[in-house]
Structure 1
Amino acid sequence: MADDPLPFAAAPSHLLEAAVYCADLDAAERFYNGILGLERIVRDKNRNVFFRVGTGVLLVFNPSETVKPPGNPDRPVPPHGALGDGHVCLAVPGPALDDWRARLETAGVEIEADFRWPNGARSIYVRDPDGNSVELAEQKLWQQPI
């Protein structure tokens, strides 16, 4: 905020991680790793599975587990969670979107929407196994006003 009186050293440089919540981590792993091809970094039993996305990380949490207080004193992450469907958008080169659409359809993933924004960027929307909205979009989506 421009009117914020609190000084800070620098604005955050990029999004380090984002989270979605999926009750069935096996199904989530088949979708994010098997279909989308994201590299699995780590899985903690039925609590979470994390995937590399470029320089960032997609955290997939089991909502019934993350609401519990932390059991590991070395990782005192406060309980958290979300209700309802979440959303994540993954950047894909524009020329590859047709191949992605074909891959998703071949895997039996329903295409919920496929369109161009007013700035010309294309987005394809699907749902993960838990109902979260997953968007594959051209990087230029946020390089110009939509």
Structure 2
Amino acid sequence: MPPPHAPRAVLETALYVSDLDTAAAFYKDVIGLDEHLRVPGRHVFLRCETSMILLFDPEATQDSHGKFPVPPHGAMGQGHVCFRAQPGEMDLWEEHLTSKGVAIEADFEWPGGARSIYVRDPAQNSVEFAEAKLWGFDT
């Protein structure tokens, strides 16, 4: 039986970090997300308008000890998240990130004219800011 329809959006994205406090500070203070929920030593969840960024300690998510009704999960190594930027915001993001001492790892235009800026979070996850037209979306 097929699904009722294709999903409409990604609801949450998980990144794995060894230092929750440092990573959470980056996503709050540099990116501007709001903290939604924290379980010390396990995870920090941050709101990004209509989706969530979930920061997990990969070691802690391997063993839930019956505390959480979800299966153990986790990843080692660098992950990736891309934030949608509005047309005309890319220069502002570049200036903001630079002013916060965040090094721009890459800045380029894709075929079709969309621009992406890449930086690294404190856990070395790849963090991208891109115009929605990269994937054919209007805004």
Query: What TM-score results when the alignment is normalised by the length of structure 1?
Result: 0.89
Residues 1:22 and 2:14 are matched in the alignment: no
The reply on whether 1:141 has 2:134 as its aligned counterpart is yes
Code of the aligned partner of 1:35: V
- 1:59 lines up with 2:22 in the alignment: no
- Higher alpha-carbon deviation: 114-123 or 94-103: 94-103
Q: Which residue of 2 aligns with 1:83?
A: 76
| 2:40 matches 1:34 | no
Q: 1:131: how far off?
A: 0.5
Offset of residue 25 of structure 1? 0.8
Partner residue, 2:120: 127
- Which secondary structure state, in structure 2, belongs to the residue aligned with residue 34 of structure 1? helix
1:41 partner amino acid: H
**Corresponding position of 1:44:** 39
Percent identity of equivalent pairs? 50
1:3 aligned residue: none
The structure whose Rg is larger is 1
Structure 2 regions of 5+ residues with no counterpart? none
Which SS does the other structure have where 2:88 is aligned? helix
For the aligned residues, what is the CA RMSD? 1.2
Q: Normalising by the residue count of structure 2, what TM-score does the alignment of the two structures yield?
A: 0.93
| Alignment partner of 2:88 out of 95, 106, 123 | 95
Which blocks of at least 5 consecutive residues in structure 1 are unaligned?
A: 1-5
**Equivalent pairs, count:** 137
